[in-house]
Chains A and B, each alone.
Chain A
């Protein structure tokens, strides 16, 4: 707030001017005006954004007979909540297996990608080998190649390698989505670490490997957490590869299983479907709740460069 401190009236109490740093000129707005221009539109947008989750939750705890009877009572509320759908999901279906598959694939793929990305990002930003700039650009281009134009040729390749219908089909293909993103994000973080630290270590006789493991990685922990969370979410969310490369029920991941396994002929089991969708989102939402800041910085960091 340099502008306010140059204002003579603000001079006697500069600390006050500093305190309302985030407020800007908003004190000029009256409450009724702000209600109409800010709060009401904000509330409407939030309601639209969150309503599907509310509806999912309500559907998941409704008894079956209430689900198909909209006009009997108020469908937005549940008289007698039941956890039968959750019980059936967790104890009478393969759901725990699917959850485990998703978790296993996501953790392995994320781990592989982060290791590969740390090495690549370090090499591009710090070792500066011949053509490092070009390689950085190519990796960014790889980020722009969408899975939906790769899944057909990949499915034949997966067959040839004998990986079809195994978790490895996913563990090895997900990194192609994750590595470009993670490398790009980590390059941004590595660039902020001062060169001097590395030069000191070089003079003390450290090898490149030691510098990376003992100096760069510890300093880039926030970046690594961001990359991990975002990559993990992308894995959990991935659908087209999982749909194409996995065929048998016990090997499926949650997103693909949900859309195919809860439909008996033409009868949709809406309660179980919604319970499954909720439970499938829960691990991500919990993870997200703990690391919001890292998540946001990963998202914005990836587009800032």
Chain B
């Protein structure tokens, strides 16, 4: 205490010490406030990202540092039928799932934007698939589409659409299994898109619709020329996220099929886990993971700029 008092008196009034000045310096303060977040992100995000890039050029295995092998991993992968198959399926999976999620999500948002009884309740119920951990709902789908005891098969038999003697081999047939995982991904993704788009819809003033209707606009025109242009910015963001998380999906596939049957449902993320962690070829696994990056960047740029440019065009010349 005494020391502090002396220190304060010795510093001439009106001329604060270096320490005093440092204490109110924006940059110095900013650095300290940013430190915890930066420490986490640098240690566990930026560093691994760099390390992953480096590992993709090495032949690292579990328990052994790799040697630099240049592009060898990537050359191997291009020749690898399973990798090419996973790459194609990842793109198809992302494309179909995102498109359907967007269509149904937007439709659901428009439905929920009506004047409904128990609206708040319905909205919270719709979000439940998004709250429940993906793996746990994947387990439910696993059982719903079980080859022998599928409730869907039972339903189809009851409706007379299917012969009881020839059940559908949901998870055993490659094409069928691909359809099932795409369906499960769509099921899981719809609530997020619907609720975020609904938030966007609610900011559209009803007077715009009234004005358009007085001018003779039909329901479709109301949607096409009022709702859609006003919703474009939020659609761009939501779809960017949706594409990103669909492309890098891991847990749904791993919980439902582990990439089977005959590697038909491998996404790049699951293949990377299988080769890198289970197979022990860390270098090859890292190479698979790194080869997702260009596609991710392309997807982000496409959904971002594609939709943003639309918005500017519409602002300029009214489409």
Contact = CB atoms under 8 A, between A and B. Distances in A.
B286 A152 contact: yes
A142 interface: yes
Contacts of A304: 199, 234, 237
Given A41-B111, A255-B136, A50 B128 contact: yes
A292 B124 contact: yes
Contacts of A233: 131
A179 B37 contact: yes
Given A116-B40, A127-B33, A239 B210 contact: no
A22 B49 contact: no
Contacts of B273: 151, 240, 243-244
Given A70-B151, A148-B248, A240-B250, A129 B45 contact: no
Name the residue among A46, A123, A149, A255 with the largest chain B CB count within 10 angstroms.
Answer: A149
Contacts of A135: 34
Q: How large is the interface on B (under 10, 10 to 19, 20 to 34, 35 or more residues)?
A: 35 or more
Interface string B198-213: 0100000011011101
B122 interface: yes
A148 B273 CA distance: 9
B37 A119 contact: yes
Given A22-B115, A153-B286, A71 B164 contact: yes
Q: How large is the interface on A (under 10, 10 to 19, 20 to 34, 35 or more residues)?
A: 35 or more
A149 B276 CA distance: 11
Contact of A259 (B135, B209, B300): B135
A221 interface: no
Given A52-B144, A240-B273, A280-B133, A152 B210 contact: no
A176 B289 contact: no
A274 B139 contact: yes
B114 to A, nearest CB: 5
B116 A38 contact: yes
Contacts of B26: 127-130
Name the residue among A42, A52, A124, A284 with the largest chain B CB count within 10 angstroms.
Answer: A52
Interface in A226-250: 233, 236-237, 239-240, 243-244
A173 B48 CA distance: 11
A132 B33 CA distance: 12
Interface stretch (B3-11, B187-195, B224-232, B309-317): B187-195
Interface stretch (A80-88, A90-98, A154-162, A189-197): A154-162
Contacts of B126: 46, 49
B61 to A, nearest CB: 11
Nearest to B46: A142
A67 interface: yes
A116 B37 contact: yes
B251 A239 contact: yes
B124 to A, nearest CB: 5
A36 interface: no
Contacts of A124: 34
Given A46-B122, A153-B48, A296-B127, A144 B30 contact: no
Contacts of A151: 273, 277, 289
B67 interface: no
A285 B131 CA distance: 7
A11 B272 CA distance: 67
A278 B139 CA distance: 10
B27 A129 contact: yes
B44 interface: yes
B36 A120 contact: yes
Given A112-B40, A274-B143, 19 more contacts: A24-B206, A25-B209, A48-B187, A49-B125, A49-B126, A50-B125, A55-B140, A117-B37, A119-B33, A148-B250, A149-B289, A151-B277, A152-B52, A176-B45, A240-B250, A240-B254, A277-B136, A277-B137, A296-B127
29 contacts: A3-B211, A24-B206, A42-B122, A45-B108, A52-B187, A71-B157, A120-B34, A129-B29, A139-B37, A142-B41, A150-B49, A151-B289, A152-B282, A156-B55, A175-B40, A176-B41, A208-B33, A237-B135, A244-B277, A255-B134, A259-B135, A270-B143, A280-B133, A281-B131, A285-B128, A288-B128, A303-B196, A303-B234, A303-B237
Sorted nearest first, the 8 A-B pairs with minimum C-beta distance are A129-B30, A123-B33, A148-B269, A239-B251, A146-B248, A120-B37, A3-B207, A153-B52
Interface of A: 1-4, 22-26, 34, 38, 41-42, 45-46, 48-50, 52-53, 55-56, 59, 67-68, 70-71, 75-76, 112-113, 115-117, 119-120, 122-124, 127-130, 132, 135, 139, 142, 144-157, 172-173, 175-176, 179-180, 183, 207-208, 233, 236-237, 239-240, 243-244, 254-256, 258-259, 270, 273-274, 276-278, 280-281, 284-285, 288-289, 292, 295-296, 299-300, 303-304
